[in-house]
Amino acid sequence: MKIIPLELKENSYEILIGNQVLDSLPKKIKALKLGKDAVIISDKTVSRLHGQRVAKVLRDEGFVIKTFVVPPGEKSKSGPVALKLIEDIARYDVGRKIFIIALGGGVIGDLAGFVAAIYKRGIPYIQVPTTLLAQIDSAIGGKVAVDLAVGKNLAGAFYQPKMVFTDISFLKTLDARQIRNGLAEAVKYGIIVDKQLFVYLEKSFQDFLNLDEGVLQRVVETCSRIKASVVSKDEKESGGLRMILNFGHTLGHAIENAAAFRYHHGEAVAIGMRMAAHISVLKGMLLQKDDQRINALLSSIGLPDSYAGLLKSQIIASMNHDKKFIAAQNRFVLARSIGRVEIVSGVEGDLIDKAIKQFKK
């Protein structure tokens, strides 16, 4: 198993990555000394596919397991669902000392992490990510949240897990759309800091889509290392560095929200990255041939090349609601080249307009 340390002083933890490594989960948890009372939070789909096996390997090693299951999908990342979970957990948690295991994709990771952060002002939790997006992105870095009616992730915290346990064999049951969705974030890492990764994805994306284990392992590991490195240098997005992870997300989130989640996160981000690259070209920062390469890779993966059914005004309104965008005074992450981005303030409205128009179906 590969071990990637995430250094954050007293909040440091390890990201463990392997293939068919579930049997070693109990030992790894025991080493953390969190006690034996584990509460698994999962969604119905993941629970049906993998929940029993996870519970069994833990029970076989002496853990006491209680599982709470929520419906799959973004709608579960809500205040009411979180509070209901907390009530249920509190009723169960009498005379125990529990910790939480988030078993699922980004929705479960964000929701269970949020519950762990606020229940009794914080109890330990572990991330066991089961989607590609969660394995390479959302499970790492301690951003936990639920959505509010006015916007995504508006109630949340920075609350680090005690461990991220990534088994790439979970990805075998994921459908192709979810794999493509996660790959959008891998392309993002290539663009922001790692040209070699980008080139590797150009060469190997088909093997990745076919779930070739060697390729999966390499990409998941490379991306996890990048995320860990950025987070360790800027845990709370205060120094600006962590902001580079938002490449493609300013407009991507706006599309995701405005379209009321018709697009998956990675799909919306793919369109957002195309727009950010386009703005970068208009600003004279990025060569047209690099912009074409970015678009070509996203298209070969099968990620959307345009959006439909949205007005420009809806996307702009949604962008202006974005907490980061407001706080950061119209700041965009723009590309200089593949592997290098810059944070640019005060991007002209007409360039944003042009980018939004360019990718309308």
Ligand X SMILES: NC(=O)c1ccc[n+]([C@@H]2O[C@H](COP(=O)([O-])OP(=O)(O)OC[C@H]3O[C@@H](n4cnc5c(N)ncnc54)[C@H](O)[C@@H]3O)[C@@H](O)[C@H]2O)c1
Residue nearest to ligand X (CB): 106
Among residue numbers 39 through 98, which ones bind ligand X (CB under 6 A)? Answer: 43, 45-46, 49, 72-74, 77
| Closer residue to ligand X, CB minimum distance, 141 or 339 | 141
| Closer residue to ligand X, CB minimum distance, 105 or 272 | 105
Decide if residue 104 touches ligand X (CB under 6 A).
Answer: yes
Distance of alpha carbon 358 from its chain centroid, rounded? Answer: 27
Beta bridge partners of 347: none
Cβ 86 vs Cβ 122: under 8 Å:
no
Distance of alpha carbon 63 from its chain centroid, rounded? Answer: 28
Q: Which x/- pattern, by CB under 6 A, does the window 176-195 give for ligand X?
A: --x--x--------------
Give catalytic status of residue 121 as yes or no: yes
- Phi/psi-derived region of residue 16, left when phi > 0, alpha when psi is between -120 and 50, beta in every other case: beta
CA 173, CA 188: separation in Å to the nearest integer?
24
CA 132, CA 184: separation in Å to the nearest integer?
10
Active-site pick, 9, 121, 289, 361: 121
Candidates 268, 285, 230, 287; CA nearest to 356 is 268
Q: Retrieve residue 86's tokens.
A: 């907390």
Choose, by CB under 6 A, the member of 22, 26, 58, 138 that binds ligand X: 138
Cβ 86 vs Cβ 60: under 8 Å:
no
CA 37, CA 45: separation in Å to the nearest integer?
23
Decide if residue 130 touches ligand X (CB under 6 A).
Answer: yes
Segment interacting with ligand X, rule: CB under 6 A, options 131-139, 284-292, 293-301, 351-359? 131-139
Segment interacting with ligand X, rule: CB under 6 A, options 12-20, 125-133, 275-283, 285-293? 125-133
CA 123, CA 128: separation in Å to the nearest integer?
16
**Smallest separation, CB 317 to ligand X (Å):** 19
Give catalytic status of residue 246 as yes or no: yes
Decide if residue 258 touches ligand X (CB under 6 A).
Answer: no
CA 306, CA 318: separation in Å to the nearest integer?
17
Cβ 19 vs Cβ 168: under 8 Å:
yes
Active-site pick, 14, 221, 235, 237: 237
Decide if residue 257 touches ligand X (CB under 6 A).
Answer: no
Exposed/middle/buried for 91, CB within 10 Å: 0-12, 13-18, 19+?
A: exposed
Decide if residue 108 touches ligand X (CB under 6 A).
Answer: yes
| Closer residue to ligand X, CB minimum distance, 162 or 265 | 265
**Smallest separation, CB 350 to ligand X (Å):** 30
What are the residues whose beta carbons fall under 8 Å from the beta carbon of 289, sequence distance 6 or more? Answer: none
Give catalytic status of residue 264 as yes or no: no
Give catalytic status of residue 253 as yes or no: yes
**Smallest separation, CB 227 to ligand X (Å):** 8
| Closer residue to ligand X, CB minimum distance, 103 or 275 | 103
Sites of contact with ligand X (CB under 6 A)? 43, 45-46, 49, 72-74, 77, 104-108, 110, 130-131, 133-134, 137-138, 141, 143, 152-153, 170, 173-174, 178, 181, 265
